């Protein structure tokens, strides 16, 4: 199978699919069976202990989580106010400064370009995980980074 055919088949998986047979009669039968009073009573009785246990577990979990969150609020309050994109930009500026200070100035701009590209590609892939071509672009960006690293070694 060629890449071209593989991509087409992956694309087709994403679309709406028609069931092979009419599912409604079976659904309707189950719904009407569920609404029979005797069956409902039996099932409700059978599930009460489970529901109470689950409620207790949830209440305890929420309480513990709230306590731990309360402890952490003070330390992370300033970070919460910062948007992820701002953090990203700040990180990139910091990285550029580090490179400019320590690396070969001829390679700094390329390093920054690769950093930004990698970060944006990761973000894009998170939004469109089935995009094989984005994986290809990430791999090529990594290859360029390796090439740059080799040049950096030669320069030192």
Partner 1 sequence: MKTMTLPLVSLLLLGAGSTALAGTPINQSRDVDASVRIEISNVRGSVTVSGWDQNRVEITGTLGSGSKGLRVEGNGSRLEIEVEKPGSSGWFNWGSSSKMDDSTLDIRAPRGAELHIDTVSAEVTVSEIAGRLLDVNSISGKIRLDSAARELEIGSISGSVELKGNGERVQVDTISGDIEFSANRDRLKFETVSGNITVSTETYREFSASSVSGDINLRGKPVGDARIDTETMSGDIRIEAVGELSARIEAETFSGRIRSDFGKVQEPDHGPGRSIDATVGDGKARLSIDTFSGDISIRRD
Q: Which stretch binds partner 1 (CB under 8 A): 67-75, 79-87, 90-98, 130-138?
A: 130-138
3-state secondary structure of 19: coil
Binds partner 1 by CB under 8 A, chosen from 65, 136, 142, 149? 136
Regarding 135 and contact with partner 1 (CB under 8 A), the answer is: no
CB nearer to partner 1: pick between 8 and 90: 8
Min dist CB 109 to partner 1, Å, is: 6
Regarding 119 and contact with partner 1 (CB under 8 A), the answer is: no
CB nearer to partner 1: pick between 14 and 21: 14
Record the tokens describing residue 101, joined without a space: 């200070």
Record the tokens describing residue 52, joined without a space: 């109470």
Residues 6 or more apart whose CB falls under 8 angstroms from that of 6 comprise 132
Site for partner 1 in 80-99 (CB under 8 A): none
Binds partner 1 by CB under 8 A, chosen from 14, 45, 70, 146? 14
Min dist CB 137 to partner 1, Å, is: 6
Min dist CB 122 to partner 1, Å, is: 11
Backbone angles phi, psi at 82, to 5 degrees: -95, 135
Distance from C-alpha of 4 to C-alpha of 10, rounded to nearest angstrom: 10
Buried b (16+ CB within 10 A) or exposed e, 38-75: eeeeeeeeeeeeeeeeeeeeeeeeeeeeeeeeeeeeee
- Burial of 9: CB neighbours in 10 Å, binned 0-12, 13-18, 19+: exposed
Binding site for partner 1 (CB under 8 A): 4, 7-8, 11, 14-16, 104-107, 109-110, 113-114, 117, 120-121, 124, 127-128, 131, 133-134, 136-137, 140-141, 144, 147-148, 151, 154-156
């Amino acid at each position: 199978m060629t890449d071209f055919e593989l991509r087409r088949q992956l694309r087709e998986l994403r679309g709406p699919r028609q069931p092979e047979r009419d599912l409604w009669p079976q659904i309707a039968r189950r719904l009407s069976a569920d609404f029979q009073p005797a069956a409902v009573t039996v099932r409700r009785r059978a599930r009460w202990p489970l529901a109470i246990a689950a409620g207790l577990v949830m209440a305890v979990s929420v309480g513990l989580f709230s306590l731990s969150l309360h402890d952490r609020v003070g330390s992370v309050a300033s970070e919460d106010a910062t948007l992820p994109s701002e953090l990203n930009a700040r990180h990139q500026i910091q990285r550029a400064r580090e490179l400019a200070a320590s690396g070969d100035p001829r390679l700094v701009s390329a390093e920054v370009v690769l950093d930004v590209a990698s970060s944006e590609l990761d973000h894009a892939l998170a939004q469109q995980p089935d995009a094989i071509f984005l994986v290809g672009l990430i791999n090529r960006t990594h290859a360029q980074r390796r090439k740059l690293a080799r040049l950096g070694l030669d320069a030192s």
